[in-house]
């Protein structure tokens, strides 16, 4: 059969789009470039919103990208079950779009933080995490300025009780996120937001590990088996 | 080893001898100063009337006579200028921008008489240098024409002041026929309630009475008075006749109209209670602005006399822009913030007093500014209750002063310049000396226009022309080793090197030192932005950045201001661009306390066929400016900030530092790559220092020699910018391209897709002239090569610093050394935690090292390594190194030691060194001691590169890095680029394999001059730096490259600052694995000496013999020093009694604590 097609949206200011494409390719799928200004998802089987500083993060991270033309189609498709992974700025866009609850505030230390971060996978049942096992520990780079996940108490309780916390930081919490949250998903489990960058942990040559590849192979296997 | 074949191996080479500082000599060429190669100065050359600071006379100001003449150079601090601008009358010619850097130049002073101008030009000097008010021909200006703006005073409400309601002055002869202002009373106001008809026409127009409805737009004839009204009032359109008074009679309660520019006299703006109108630029006399209680209007630049700004309203008062005409009086204070008054070259106004915050010129109850005069008659300065300005003061209400009504010059066109050869010009303020100015006149056959003077002044500035450094930098070319790897050499925006497989790499480092001290975040951020655009302009995709930073002592309060800002700025900009930061250095030393060094490097890649040049060939081709809009950013920045010596006034330069928009730059990168990909440009240039001036001049000079530019087409963020300001603006994120006419449409489409403004601003010609028009008049007409390539060249005097002998005689031999295991242990920990050797994670964790997914090694590794080709593994390595202490002790050797270290670092990853870039940070070239250091350093670097067989591809010179008369330690920062045929074979520096044999390659001598040990433990700097040994360095590099390629070693870490001790600390902590070390010889020397050409390696089990053979064939001593393993660093060696014993053991956690806590403890 044809390879699964995974779209990667480029907004003005997206930075890790090519890296996400490389990860998709390494996972065995075909990366498809999507342009923020189009109204066309080009029939992809899943979408990655990459990291970066869309629109310079002006106003608020993700706040402007959320209004990009393509987001209209994306939101509708995601609500209909299209697998969507938002990484870093992509996570911020998903929160701004209300596909995921909560918000990402400036890091507690007020600095941009780039480090190799230990994580624990808390939910291995989402479409993006089936290649992991619950409790598995990963080392994946984190690099952001606005990564402090924040939500109201009820939301946090709901996320925790319904297994929607996908990953938590281990050791030092790099940004002061509530409940050490590194990633969450929506109720259906098809939309996942992650602050760490799994696309930068797919080759031992350039990453601290290859632990990030599982996010991409998870979706590829699912699509192939679907 | 084939690459070594090209290297010399003459052991008798003088460089290999111990360096005798007094014998060592100079080196070569590079680049500029602190910035991109563009000149920065603003330019216009307004003549200022002037003079030396005149004694400020109390209130009554003498009306200058003919103000219009250029003044002698008065330096105005840029910040002050900014504040003054509004208040001062503008002098007739250019004004503003140049003055900003003028002060810096003034500090520099005229060229030292001892300096020889390489290409002296003699021109009869009609006495232009002397400025004396008596020079002004009073007859030329009829003072009576001007209605003196009365200026009130006092602390209470002030009466309306303004020429607007009285007879208006005629405008004197200046730059052509000028309109005469109406001298009659302004029409009475006739209140009415209906909207008024507009009366476009060419004749006198009707008075517009105040009313409650919208008022009409006006036409081109003399315009009517606009009365007060209670409703929104209408904009008053541009007209060619006298323009109306705006409600001078009665206060209005609503926002009042905008007054557009007109060519006729413009009217007074009356008091009202609402926001008041902006007064646009006009060529006629401009209106008085009355008091009001709302925010008051901005007063735009005009070429006529400018208005009086009336006594205070209660709202914020207006900003008055500079104009070439007389500037307005600034009335006594309102209770709101008062305006900034810009300096001008015309007569200066009387300034009253007020109770609110006051403008730059004029006393008030708030803190007051220093009043710097530039060109016109000096104003009286009124009383105030706060700190008073340096010029004039009073304690009582001040009398109204008669206004000065000097003549003004309008736009300085080529025709006017030709017709007024005697008009004095402020070239000295612009940093030009007499000879340079004469030469410009000779080139043009007339005096330059103010815009031309601006262009020449920046293009011939040190920053852009390398006039002091050029004679030395030539060595980089003359001594360049023969190589076919250099695709583009020095002279372009950046050199380009062939790295094989069809790929080319371009890289360059530049300084942004002075701006980063003034405004750390933006200074550093725009430094990154500038070097990235340099790389883009070669046609390359930028793939990584590095930064070499130097600050004052880590615990100094100001370092805690500058360091976090600089780091956040570099990170904030490069992270937002999506460029990984792969390495650099962070050094602390008291000599950088008030002059930090911020050197940023960018590297880019392209296919060979994609190399672009900064040329403008092909008559008829279009010149397109694209990127950010042009605003009043950093006008004068390059000259002021790059050349000014830091002092207590630096804070006043804040407005001169540009502000970056990395998001726009990111779009520009992607847009440019698409443009290149479709082959849409025939030439491209980034805009850096001196903006449009530099880009057009350089493009034209490198092309068919001619270009026509219409300055009116340049999209502005601030429409009040004068042409000279447009030329000099350093607004960031702009590029200029030359495009064939048939490709313009497609070019525009791509820019639109990235939402980047793009405008055709001119056309390439074959006339050999750069011609610029503004408002329909030709203001620039010059041969571009004379500005770009034929600037002055100086052979400045050289003399070793007087204290050099004493410094070199004060060797570290007198310092007490640690003598037992415990003292050695403490010394290891002390050094590991000293600011220069401590972990820089606090810095580097703020940089994205992963983005683009090709970073193989990044700091703190030996060098940054980036993959270029995913499939073949082709990649590059880069290291950036410098040592100011070594260079202080011996500039020739110091530069070579920086080269040596960078060379070693690149080889330590397994890369073959290929090419060199550099950033030469020095003090003032006018100091013979500094110039000697520079000459010696350049010579050392050129000789070193010649020996090593790697060419210098480009670089940057930054002079005037000093505080007062104290220069920084001379600090050449050298970047070496190496190539990896396959980055997968690289090695890193962290010990990870338990049981691996550790070996030391190279010879250790007792060398402590300038060492970290002497610096950290004793604060000592003296003696001579380590011996330079390029023969050993090349041999070591060949061993490392081959051993890594063949898999003989698994870990390599070079030895440099801090010696073996620091190497062990870093390698153990990097891999979280301890080591058991046995030191040969004197333990102290073995641990802390900084001898060159050494590295520590971990040998792959079983490869010991092959490595030994490799070293032997290369003549590199190899010593087994221990084994990796355990969780502590344990060191054995000769004890005080000469017996072999365990000297000390340090658990890794203790080592880590010492190494890693230092920076956060200072910086957070």
Q: Could you write out the DSSP letters of every residue in B164-188? A: GGSPPPBPPSSSS--PBPP-SPPPP
Q: How many Å apart are CA A8 and CA A16, to the nearest integer?
A: 10
- Residue of B661, B845, B850 with shortest CB distance to A113: B845
Answer whether the bond into residue A47 is a cis peptide, omega within 30°: no
Task: With a cut of 50, say whether residue B175 has pLDDT above it.
Answer: no
Read off the pLDDT band of B558 (50, 70, 90).
very high
Å between B875 CA and nearest CA of chain A: 12
On whether the CB atoms of residues B339 and B361 are closer than 8 A, the answer is: no
Q: Is B116 helix (H, G, I), strand (E, B) or coil?
A: strand
Q: How confident is the model at residue B660 (pLDDT cuts 50, 70, 90)?
A: confident
Strands B541-551 and B597-607: antiparallel
ipTM value: 0.97
CA-based nearest residue to B1039, from B879, B938, B908, B923: B908
β-strands B683-686, B734-739 pairing: antiparallel
- Tell me, yes or no, whether B385 lies in a domain: yes
Q: What is the pLDDT of residue B261?
A: 39
Amino acid B409: pLDDT: 53
Confirm if B322 and B96 have CB atoms less than 8 A apart: yes
Do the Cβ atoms of A199 and B853 come within 8 Å?
yes
At B492, the pLDDT band (50, 70, 90 cuts) reads low
**Model pLDDT, residue B465:** 87
For residue B190, count CB atoms less than 10 angstroms from its CB and return exposed for 0-12, middle for 13-18, buried for 19 or more.
Answer: middle
What are the Cα distances from residue A177, in Å, to A138, A152, B598? 18, 12, 33
Q: What is the pLDDT of residue B503?
A: 95
Within 8 A by CB and 6+ apart from B126, the residues are: B422
Q: Any CB–CB contact under 8 A between B374 and chain A?
A: no
Residue B468 predicted with pLDDT over 80: yes
Average pLDDT, chain B: 72
B649 is a domain residue: no
Please count the other Cβ atoms lying within 10 Å of the Cβ belonging to residue B977.
28
- B1056-1107 pLDDT, tens digit per residue, is 999 999 999 999 999 999 999 999 999 999 999 999 999 999 999 999 999 9
Strands A30-35 and A165-169: unpaired
pLDDT at B490: 66
Hey, which residues does B882 pair with through a beta bridge? B973
Could you tell me which of A198, A166, A163, A161 has the C-alpha nearest to residue A181? A166
Domain count, chain A: 1
Looking at residue B635, its pLDDT comes to: 67
Cβ pair B663:A143 closer than 8 A:
no
Mean pLDDT of the region B701-715:
89
The encoded tokens of residue A114 equal 């780039």
Q: For residue B848, which of A180, A214, A191, A147 has the smallest C-alpha distance?
A: A147
Q: Do A56 and B661 touch (CB under 8 A)?
A: yes
- CATH classification of the domain holding A105: 3.40.50.880
Average the pLDDT over each of B345-349, B554-558, B656-660, B753-757 and give the range with the smallest value. Answer: B345-349
Helices (H), B949-1073: 1012-1013, 1030-1045, 1059-1071
Rounded Cα distance between A64 and A56, Å, is 9
Of A26, A64, A111, which to mutate for an interface test with B (greatest number of B Cβ within 10 Å)?
A: A111
The percent of residues in chain B predicted with pLDDT above 70, rounded, is 62
Q: Which of B92, B1014, B29, B1066 is nearest to B589 (CA)?
A: B1014
Q: Under an 8 A CB cutoff, do A13 and B849 touch?
A: no
Long-range contacts from B14-18, C-beta under 8 angstroms, 24+ separation: B14/B943, B15/B896, B15/B940, B15/B943, B15/B944, B15/B947, B15/B1028, B15/B1030, B16/B1028, B16/B1029, B16/B1030, B16/B1031, B18/B1024, B18/B1027
Length of chain A: 226
- Name beta bridge partners: B958: B921
- Per the listing, tokens 């008809």 go with B197
Residue B209 has pLDDT above 60, yes or no: no
With both helix axes pointing from N to C terminus, report the angle between B928-948 and B470-478 in degrees, rounded to the nearest 10. 10
Cα–Cα distance measured from residue B246 to residue B268, given in angstroms and rounded to the nearest whole number: 6
Sign of CA dihedral B896, B900, B901, B902: positive
For residue B817, what pLDDT band results from cuts at 50, 70 and 90?
very high
Residue B861 Cα distances to B444, B974, B1160, angstroms: 55, 17, 20
Which ranges in B36-95 belong to alpha helices (H)? Answer: 78-87
Query: Tokens for B637?
Result: 């920045």
CA atoms within 13 A on the CB side of B229: 27
Contact residues for A134 (Cβ-Cβ < 8 A; gap 6+): A121, A122, A123, A124
In this prediction, residue B869 carries a pLDDT of 95
Query: A23: distance to nearest CA of chain B, Å?
Result: 10
Query: Is the Cβ pair A205, B578 closer than 8 Å?
Result: no
Q: Which residues in chain B touch residue A19, judged by CB atoms under 8 angstroms apart?
A: 850-853
Substitution target from B563, B578, B755 for chain A, most A beta carbons within 10 A: B578
Give the DSSP H/E element, type plus range, for residue B753: helix B744-753
Boundary residue ending a domain (B448, B469, B504): B448
Any CB–CB contact under 8 A between B849 and chain A?
Answer: yes
Q: Is A141 on the interface with B (CB under 8 A)?
A: yes
The CATH number of the domain holding residue B1115 is 3.90.650.10
Nearest to B663 among A37, A58, A200 (CB): A58
Q: For B1005-1032, what is the mean pLDDT?
A: 96
Q: Which of residues B421, B448, B475 is at a domain's end?
A: B448
pLDDT tens, B255-309? 333 333 333 333 333 343 334 344 434 343 444 343 433 334 433 343 334 443 3
Nearest to B693, CA basis, from B467, B526, B459: B459
Size of interface A-B (CB pairs under 8 A): 88
**What's the domain count of chain B?**
2
CB-based contact B755 A12, cutoff 8 Å: yes
Interchain CB distance below 8 Å, A53 and B755: no
The answer to whether B661 faces chain A, any CB pair under 8 Å, is yes
Split at pLDDT 50, 70, 90, the class of B142 is very low
3-state secondary structure B676-744: HHCCCCCEEEECECEHHHHHHHHHHHHCCCEEEEEHHHCCECCCCCCHHHHHHCCCCCEEEEEECHHHH
Q: Quick check: B568 and A56 CB within 8 A?
A: no
d(CA B1054, CA B1075): 17
- Give the tokens for residue B100: 């900003």
- Asked if the C-beta of B667 comes within 8 angstroms of chain A's C-beta atoms, the answer is yes
Measured between alpha carbons, how far is B444 from B412 in angstroms, rounded to an integer? Answer: 15
Cβ neighbour number for residue B111 with a 10 Å cutoff: 21
Contacts of B775 (CB under 8 A, 6+ apart): B411, B712
Kindly identify which residue of chain A lies nearest to residue B848, measuring between CA atoms. Answer: A114
Please state, in angstroms and rounded to a whole number, the distance separating the CA atoms of residues A167 and A211. 13
Report the gap between the CA of A15 and the closest CA in chain B (Å): 5
Task: Give the SS3 label for residue B444.
Answer: helix
Q: Which domain holds residue A184?
A: 5-225
The beta-carbon neighbor of A22 closest among B568, B846, B853 is B853
Enumerate residues 6+ apart whose C-beta is below 8 A from A172. none
pLDDT at position B821 = 94
Residue B144 within a domain: yes
* Res. B385: pLDDT tops 70: no
Cβ(A164)–Cβ(A183) below 8 Å = no
The C-alpha atoms of residue B231 and residue B854 are separated, in whole angstroms, by 63
Model-wide pTM > 0.80:
no
Of B577, B844, B854, the CB nearest to A206: B854
* Angle formed at CA B54 by CA B49 and CA B57, multiple of 5 degrees: 115
pLDDT of residue B652: 43
Please give the distance of CA B927 from its chain centroid, rounded to a whole number.
22
Q: How far is A17 from chain B (nearest CA, A)?
A: 9
pLDDT exceeds cutoff 90 at B668? yes
pLDDT at B943 over 80: yes
Q: What are phi and psi of B1160, to 5 degrees?
A: -60, -30
Pairing of strands A191-194, B777-782: unpaired
Pick the catalytic residue: B369, B472, B512, B1155?
Answer: B512
**Listed range (B67-81, B817-831, B880-894) with the worst mean pLDDT:** B67-81
| Segment A128-185, tens digit of pLDDT | 999 999 999 999 999 999 999 999 999 999 999 999 999 999 999 999 999 999 999 9
Higher pLDDT, B688 or B45: B688
Chain centroid offset of residue A213 CA = 13
**Residue B738: closest CA among B681, B676, B674, B688:** B681
Give the domain-ending residue among B395, B425, B448: B448
pLDDT band at A1 (very low <50, low <70, confident <90, very high): low
Percent residues over pLDDT 90 in chain B: 51
> Do the Cβ atoms of B850 and A141 come within 8 Å?
yes
How far is the C-alpha of B369 from the C-alpha of B346, rounded, in Å? 20
What are the residue ranges of helices labelled H in chain A? 17-26, 69-79, 89-96, 153-161, 213-225
Give the start-end residues of each E strand in B10-128: 116-117
CB atoms within 10 A of CB B394: 18
Cross-chain residue pair B853–A57, CB shorter than 8 Å: no
Radius of gyration of chain A (CA): 16
Question: A145 touching B, CB under 8 A?
Answer: yes
Instruction: Name the residue facing B576 among A53, A115, A207 (closest C-beta).
Output: A53
Asked if A205 lies within 8 A of B847 by C-beta distance, the reply is: no
Q: How confident is the model at residue B94 (pLDDT cuts 50, 70, 90)?
A: very low
Q: Which domain holds residue B160?
A: 64-93+102-178+303-311+320-448
Kind of pairing, strands B997-1001 and B966-967?
unpaired
Beta bridge pairs of residue B292: B272
Beta strands B966-967; B971-980: pairing state? unpaired
**Structure tokens that stand for B288 in this block:** 């008085």
* pLDDT interval class at B640 (50, 70, 90): very low
Q: Is B463 a catalytic residue?
A: yes
Q: Which residue has the higher pLDDT, A153 or B399?
A: A153
């Amino acid at each position: 059969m044809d390879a699964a097609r995974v779209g990667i949206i480029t907004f003005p200011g997206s930075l890790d789009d090519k890296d996400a494409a490389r990860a998709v390719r390494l996972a065995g799928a075909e990366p498809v470039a999507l342009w923020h200004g189009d109204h066309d998802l080009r029939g992809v089987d899943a979408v990655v919103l990459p990291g970066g500083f869309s629109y310079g993060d002006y106003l608020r991270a993700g706040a402007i990208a959320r209004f990009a033309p393509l987001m209209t189609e994306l939101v509708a498709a995601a609500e209909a079950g299209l697998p969507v992974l938002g990484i870093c700025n992509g996570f911020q866009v998903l929160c701004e779009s209300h596909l995921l609850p909560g918000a990402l505030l400036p890091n507690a230390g007020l600095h941009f933080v780039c480090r190799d971060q230990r994580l624990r996978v808390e939910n291995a049942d989402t479409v993006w995490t089936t290649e992991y096992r619950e409790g598995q520990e990963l080392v994946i780079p984190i690099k952001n300025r606005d990564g402090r996940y924040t939500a109201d108490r009820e939301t946090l309780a709901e996320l925790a009780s319904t297994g929607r916390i996908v990953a938590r930081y281990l050791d030092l919490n790099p940004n002061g996120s509530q409940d050490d949250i590194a990633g969450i998903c929506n109720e259906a489990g098809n939309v996942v937001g992650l602050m760490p960058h799994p696309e930068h942990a797919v080759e031992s040559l350039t990453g601290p590990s290859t632990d990030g590849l599982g996010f991409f192979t998870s979706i590829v296997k699912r699509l192939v088996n679907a | 080893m084939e690459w070594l074949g090209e290297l010399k191996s003459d052991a008798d080479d003088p460089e290999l001898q111990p360096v005798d500082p007094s014998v060592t000599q100079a080196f070569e060429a590079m680049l500029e100063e602190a910035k991109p190669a563009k000149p920065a100065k603003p330019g216009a050359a307004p003549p200022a009337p002037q003079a030396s600071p005149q004694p400020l006379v109390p209130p009554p100001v003498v009306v200058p006579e003919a103000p219009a003449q250029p003044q002698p150079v008065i330096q105005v601090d840029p910040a002050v200028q900014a504040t003054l601008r509004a208040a001062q009358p503008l002098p007739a010619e250019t004004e503003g921008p140049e003055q900003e850097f003028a002060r810096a130049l003034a500090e520099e002073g005229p060229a030292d008489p001892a300096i020889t101008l390489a290409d002296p030009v003699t021109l009869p000097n009609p006495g232009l240098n002397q400025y004396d008010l008596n020079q002004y021909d009073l007859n030329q200006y009829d003072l009576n024409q001007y209605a003196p703006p009365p200026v009130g005073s006092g602390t209470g409400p002030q009466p309306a002041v303004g020429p607007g309601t009285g007879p208006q002055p005629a405008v004197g002869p200046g730059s052509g026929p000028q309109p005469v202002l109406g001298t009659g009373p302004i029409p009475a106001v006739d209140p009415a309630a209906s909207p008024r008809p507009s009366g476009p026409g060419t004749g006198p127009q009707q008075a517009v009475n105040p009313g409650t409805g919208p008022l009409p737009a006006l036409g081109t004839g003399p315009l009517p008075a606009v009365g007060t009204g209670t409703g929104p009032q209408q904009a008053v359109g541009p007209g060619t006749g006298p323009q109306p008074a705006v409600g001078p009679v009665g206060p209005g309660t609503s926002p009042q109209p905008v007054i557009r520019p007109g060519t006729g006299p413009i009217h007074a703006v009356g008091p009202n209670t609402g926001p008041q109108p902006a007064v646009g630029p006009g060529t006629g006399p401009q209106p008085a602005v009355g008091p009001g209680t709302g925010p008051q209007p901005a007063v735009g630049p005009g070429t006529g006399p400018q208005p009086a700004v009336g006594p205070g309203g209660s709202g914020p008062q207006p900003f008055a822009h500079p104009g070439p005409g007389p500037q307005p009086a600034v009335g006594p204070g309102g209770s709101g913030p008062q305006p900034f008054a810009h300096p001008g070259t015309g007569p200066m106004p009387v300034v009253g007093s007020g109770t609110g915050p006051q403008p730059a010129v004029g006393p008030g109850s708030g803190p007051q500014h220093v009043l710097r005069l530039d060109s016109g008659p000096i104003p009286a300065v009124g009383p105030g209750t706060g700190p008073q300005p340096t010029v004039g003061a009073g304690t009582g209400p001040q009398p109204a002063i008669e206004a000065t009504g000097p003549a003004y010059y309008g736009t300085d066109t080529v025709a006017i310049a030709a017709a007024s050869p005697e008009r004095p010009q402020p070239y000295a303020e612009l940093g030009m000396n007499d000879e340079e100015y004469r030469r410009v006149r000779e080139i043009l056959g007339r005096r330059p226009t103010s815009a031309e003077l601006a262009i020449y002044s920046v293009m011939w500035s040190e920053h852009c022309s390398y006039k002091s450094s050029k004679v030395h930098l030539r060595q980089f070319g003359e001594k360049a080793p023969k190589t076919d790897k250099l695709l583009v050499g020095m002279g372009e925006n950046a050199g380009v090197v062939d790295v094989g497989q069809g790929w080319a790499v371009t890289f360059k480092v530049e300084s942004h030192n002075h701006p980063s001290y003034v405004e750390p975040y933006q200074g550093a951020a725009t430094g990154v932005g500038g070097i990235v655009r340099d790389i883009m302009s070669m046609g390359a995709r930028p793939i990584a950045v590095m930064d070499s930073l130097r600050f004052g002592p880590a615990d100094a309060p100001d370092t805690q201001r500058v360091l976090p800002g600089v780091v956040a700025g570099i990170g904030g900009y490069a992270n937002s661009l999506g460029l990984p930061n792969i390495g650099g250095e962070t050094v602390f030393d008291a000599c950088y306390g008030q002059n930090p060094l911020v050197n940023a490097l960018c590297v880019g890649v392209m296919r060979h066929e994609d190399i672009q040049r900064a040329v403008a060939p092909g008559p008829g081709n279009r010149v397109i400016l694209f990127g950010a809009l042009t605003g009043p950013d950093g006008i004068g920045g390059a000259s002021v900030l790059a050349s000014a010596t830091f002092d207590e006034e630096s804070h006043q330069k804040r407005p001169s530092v540009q502000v970056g928009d990395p998001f726009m730059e990111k779009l520009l990168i992607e847009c440019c790559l698409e443009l290149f990909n479709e082959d849409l440009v025939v030439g491209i240039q980034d805009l850096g220092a001196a903006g449009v001036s530099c880009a057009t001049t350089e493009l034209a000079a490198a092309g068919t020699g001619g270009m026509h530019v219409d300055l009116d087409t340049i999209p502005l963020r601030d429409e009040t910018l004068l042409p000279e300001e447009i030329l000099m603006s350093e607004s960031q994120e702009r590029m200029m391209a030359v495009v064939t006419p048939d490709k313009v449409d497609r070019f525009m489409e791509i820019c639109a897709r990235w939402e980047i403004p793009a405008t055709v601003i001119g056309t390439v010609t074959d006339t050999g002239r750069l011609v610029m028009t503004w408002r329909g008049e030709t203001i620039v007409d010059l041969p571009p090569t004379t500005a770009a390539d034929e600037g002055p060249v100086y052979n400045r005097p050289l003399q070793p610093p007087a204290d050099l002998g004493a410094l070199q005689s004060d060797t570290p031999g007198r310092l007490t050394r640690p003598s037992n295991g415990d003292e050695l242990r403490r010394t290891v920990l002390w050094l590991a935690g000293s600011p220069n050797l401590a972990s820089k994670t606090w810095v580097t964790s703020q940089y994205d090292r992963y983005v683009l997914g090709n970073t193989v090694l990044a700091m703190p590794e030996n060098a940054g390594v980036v993959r270029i080709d995913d499939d073949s593994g082709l990649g590059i390595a880069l290291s950036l190194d410098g040592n100011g202490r070594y260079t202080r002790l011996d500039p020739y050797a110091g530069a070579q030691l920086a080269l040596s270290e960078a060379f070693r670092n690149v080889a330590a990853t397994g890369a073959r060194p290929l090419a060199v870039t550099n950033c030469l940070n020095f003090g003032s070239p006018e100091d013979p001691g500094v110039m000697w250091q520079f000459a010696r350093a350049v010579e050392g670097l050129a000789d070193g590169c010649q020996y090593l067989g790697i060419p210098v591809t480009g670089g940057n010179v930054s002079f005037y890095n000093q505080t007062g008369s104290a220069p920084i330690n001379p600090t050449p920062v050298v970047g070496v680029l190496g190539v990896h045929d396959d980055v997968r074979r690289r090695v890193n520096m962290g010990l990870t394999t338990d049981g691996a044999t550790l070996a030391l390659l190279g010879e250790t001598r007792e060398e402590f001059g300038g060492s970290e040990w002497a610096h950290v433990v004793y604060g000592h700097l003296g003696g001579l730096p380590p011996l330079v040994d390029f023969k050993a360095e090349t041999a070591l590099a060949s061993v490392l490259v081959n051993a890594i390629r063949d898999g003989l070693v698994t870990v390599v870490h070079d030895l440099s600052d801090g010696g073996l001790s620091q190497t062990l600390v870093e390698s153990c902590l990097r891999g979280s694995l301890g080591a058991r070390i046995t030191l040969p010889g004197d333990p102290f020397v073995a641990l802390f000496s900084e001898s060159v050409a050494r590295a520590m390696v971990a040998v792959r089990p079983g490869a010991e013999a092959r490595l030994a053979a490799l070293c032997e064939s290369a003549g590199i001593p190899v010593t087994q020093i221990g084994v990796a393993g355990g969780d502590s660093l344990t060191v054995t060696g000769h004890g005080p009694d000469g017996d072999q014993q365990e000297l000390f053991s340090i658990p890794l956690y203790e080592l880590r604590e010492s190494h890693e806590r230092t920076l956060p403890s200072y910086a957070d």
